[in-house]
Amino acid sequence: MSLWDKGISVNEWIAQFTVGRDREMDLYLAEFDVLGTIAHITMLETIGLIGIDELPILKKELSAIYNQIKDGRFFIEDGVEDVHSQVELMLTRSLGDMGKKVHSGRSRNDQVLVDSKLFIRCELQKTVESVKILFDALIAQSERYKDVLLPGYTHLQVAMPSSFGLWFGAYAESLTDDMLLLQTAYKIANQNPLGSAAGYGSSFPLNRTLTTQLLGFENLSYNVVYAQMGRGKTEKIAAFAMSSVAATLSRMAMDICLYMSQNFAFICLPDEYTTGSSIMPHKKNPDVFELIRAKCNKIQALPTDITLMLANLPSGYFRDLQILKEIIFPAFTALRDCLDIAAFMMDKLIINRNILEDDRYKYLFSVDVVNQLVIEGTPFRDAYKIVGKDINEGNFKPDVNVKHTHEGSIGNLCNVEIALKMNKTLQSFEFDKTNKAINTLLKN
């Protein structure tokens, strides 16, 4: 069964190829298809395309379908093309001709658009919540270990003193920038395309402002052609935001894998959070972080995948866009899995508090010694040469008392300020407004 069925049988191979993984991917959209339909029929009643007596009956049936979806009892039947067809089929089975009215003034094009925007909006909110949990864990560890020094590297060569406070805090602040990209993606997704129909509007006097309010969208995608052009663009922007979070996670995971190596031995994990080898009984492998690294590197490829899929497409709808679902929908879950397990693992890390006792790290303090000579009156370039000569002649004696006090340094992490940046961005999402609108839509 398909919404475009005109009584002509389509070749089975063609049907299977064109449907592809839609029936599988559309399960992600099911609850949002129902929400979009409730908003749409509420609007249709105000313009006289659905009777005032029909609306509560349709809403009741749609609410029952919504509950089936939330309970895990909803499925797309064999022979049914997509979630839109399945929901309409269930309505017509229960309500007859009344169920056939719900498609007036819309197309599958704007149905999948609004479903996808509602889904992406919801998934971005969940992602934001997971990012915040990891952020809090990183800030807590930064404060806990702020006085524990470790080597800083440039070119993988011992460079200058760092600290675990700086290291944990660096990834926390990286997430604040990632959150800004998530905010942008959320704002793009939070615009209503419903009513654009096949991409050229409708001769029905649709009230698109009303559906915007009912679905809790912040704004309306006004131009109906652009509303359709937004498909793919919304996914691409969301993918960029996800890839930024993934880049932060992947880099942090690489650090942890490196630092757990016996050649570094900066950190370790309790045995129960590592895996072993089938032939080497001493092995304790950081497989969680290796998998985070791989999964997140895969997510970083999403924007490129989507960019190439959209390449050379003119305005209007094309079936190419169907494949967007299978690229981006599962990626949200994959990213949150990585965020959640990374947050879980943060306080399991065991920190080596005596790293710098190893003589190999004594040159970490060469810059501090140069700076001390400058404070005492030696020009910087002369001080640099003096310390360099001492190092070459084996006479260098480090001063291990770190005196870094400026903003964002070892002695002044500015974690409070970093947390303020994060909270300011979080507040601007205004999730409560959207959630309240959806709850109201389901209750009325």
- Note the pLDDT of residue 14: 75
Specify whether the CB–CB gap between 430 and 423 falls below 8 A.
Answer: no
Is pLDDT at 341 greater than 90 in this prediction? Answer: yes
Specify whether the CB–CB gap between 349 and 148 falls below 8 A.
Answer: no
Options 155, 203, 278, 406, the catalytic residue: 155
In this structure, the answer to whether residues 283 and 135 fall within a common structural domain is yes
Domain contains 226: yes
- Note the pLDDT of residue 4: 46
In this structure, the answer to whether residues 96 and 129 fall within a common structural domain is no
Q: How far is CA 112 from CA 25, 30, 268, in A?
A: 12, 10, 47
Percent of the chain with pLDDT over 90: 86
Domain contains 205: no
In this structure, the answer to whether residues 337 and 289 fall within a common structural domain is yes
Domain boundary, last residue among 70, 104, 138: 104
Domain contains 129: yes
Q: For 243-269, b where at least 16 C-beta lie within 10 A, e where not — what string?
A: bbbbbbbbebbbbbbbbbeeebebbbb
Domain contains 269: yes
Cα(407)–Cα(415) distance, integer angstroms: 10
**Mean pLDDT within 402-425:** 96
Domain boundary, last residue among 104, 133, 151: 104
Domain contains 209: no
Is pLDDT at 332 greater than 70 in this prediction? Answer: yes
In this structure, the answer to whether residues 257 and 304 fall within a common structural domain is yes
In this structure, the answer to whether residues 46 and 173 fall within a common structural domain is no
pLDDT tens figures, 164-179: 999 999 999 999 999 9
In this structure, the answer to whether residues 340 and 228 fall within a common structural domain is yes
Percent of the chain with pLDDT over 70: 98
Is pLDDT at 273 greater than 70 in this prediction? Answer: yes
The strand pairing partners of 315, in sequence order, are none
Identify the band that residue 23 occupies on the pLDDT scale cut at 50, 70 and 90: confident
Q: What is the dihedral of CA 126, 128, 132, 134, to 10 degrees?
A: 70
Cα(427)–Cα(190) distance, integer angstroms: 16
- Note the pLDDT of residue 2: 54
Is pLDDT at 410 greater than 80 in this prediction? Answer: yes
CATH number at residue 91: 1.10.275.10
Domain contains 409: no
In this structure, the answer to whether residues 73 and 129 fall within a common structural domain is no
Count the domains in the chain.
Answer: 2
Q: Give me the domain span that covers residue 253.
A: 109-195+222-357+414-433
For residue 211, give every residue at least 6 positions away whose Cβ sits within 8 Å of its Cβ, in sequence order, or none: 39, 40, 42, 43, 192, 194, 195
CATH number at residue 175: 1.20.200.10
Distance of CA 442 to the CA centre of its chain: 26
In this structure, the answer to whether residues 118 and 96 fall within a common structural domain is no
162 is catalytic: no
Is pLDDT at 6 greater than 80 in this prediction? Answer: no
Domain contains 2: no
Domain contains 367: no
In this structure, the answer to whether residues 57 and 179 fall within a common structural domain is no
Q: What is the dihedral of CA 117, 120, 125, 130, to 10 degrees?
A: 180
- CB atoms under 10 Å from CB of 351, counted, come to 18
Domain boundary, last residue among 104, 137, 171: 104
In this structure, the answer to whether residues 121 and 91 fall within a common structural domain is no
Options 84, 94, 244, 277, the catalytic residue: 277
**Mean pLDDT within 185-206:** 96
Is pLDDT at 3 greater than 90 in this prediction? Answer: no
In this structure, the answer to whether residues 170 and 44 fall within a common structural domain is no
Identify the band that residue 97 occupies on the pLDDT scale cut at 50, 70 and 90: very high
**Mean pLDDT within 183-200:** 96
pLDDT tens figures, 124-152: 999 999 999 999 999 999 999 999 999 99
**Mean pLDDT within 86-100:** 95
**Mean pLDDT within 200-229:** 96
Q: For 197-224, b where at least 16 C-beta lie within 10 A, e where not — what string?
A: bebebbebebbbebbbbbbbbeebbeeb
In this structure, the answer to whether residues 184 and 284 fall within a common structural domain is yes
Residue type present at position 247: A
Cα(338)–Cα(340) distance, integer angstroms: 6
- Average pLDDT across the chain, whole number: 94
404 is catalytic: no
